[in-house]
Amino acid sequence: MRQKIVAANWKLNKTLSEGIELVKFLQLKVNEYDKVIKIICPTFPLLYPIGQVLNKEKNFYLGAQNCSAFEKGAYTGEVSASILKSVHCDYVIIGHSERRSIFNESEEILKRKLERALNENIKAIYCVGEELEQRKNRLQFDVVEKQLENIFSLNNEQLSQIIIAYEPIWAIGTGVNASPKEAQEMHRFIREIIAKKDTNIANAIPVLYGGSCNAGNASQLFSQKDIDGGLIGSASLKGEEFIQIIYAAS
């Protein structure tokens, strides 16, 4: 059985006091015996203080929203994987569509980021997904397969530290999510592509759905055979709604 995972991507939201208040609420409300891995991904300045209040006995873990492709040096504003590790970061999101589109991160840069994170034994949530125009032109499978090429240079041990997040770009922050059928179709395809390298890893690797996932649609999405949870954006900022999403993954 693959592990169920729900990751909260706070993006550029939450002050320190707001973040701590939300995390304490979540930990109070969640079932003590809940098996779902819950990853909280705040902004960089909040990583250490939020990490200090996370209870790993309740399966709450710390994640970063990004890391540098560089190890260290004169790179103003960058945060390296080794620095993330030093503040006890367990996971890092790499290749989110907002990083690809707004910050023009290339596949080569993302490959270097993956390598940096894995070298520090930080698990990577690697994002893939197509734009609306690409889906309209029925190119979504070609796009996602191309984006997955970065993980094929990894060895099996490294692959075991990867989580894939499928985020149809046309659904992110729009309120329009992929249907359970559309999401399942892509998640199955992702496993088929990974199976070309190793069938066992393809069956074991967690694949999450991201893109306007909320309390209203999480149960239907998470009930699909190849969907192992979600990478949650705006809905993760609301305590009661995020709790319902966690329950849906349980």
Which residues are catalytic, by number?
Answer: 96, 167
Look up residue 170 and give its two tokens: 């046309």
Per the CB < 8 A criterion, the answer to whether 6 and 214 are in contact is no
Per-residue exposure over 98-119, b if at least 16 CB sit within 10 Å of its own CB, e if not? bbbeeeebeeebbbbbbbbbbe
Counting runs of H as helices and runs of E as strands, what totals does the chain give? 12, 8
**Euclidean distance between CA atoms 232 and 246, whole angstroms:** 10
The three-state secondary structure class of 186 is helix
Query: What Rg do the C-alpha atoms of the chain give, in angstroms?
Result: 17
The three-state secondary structure class of 232 is strand
The three-state secondary structure class of 149 is helix
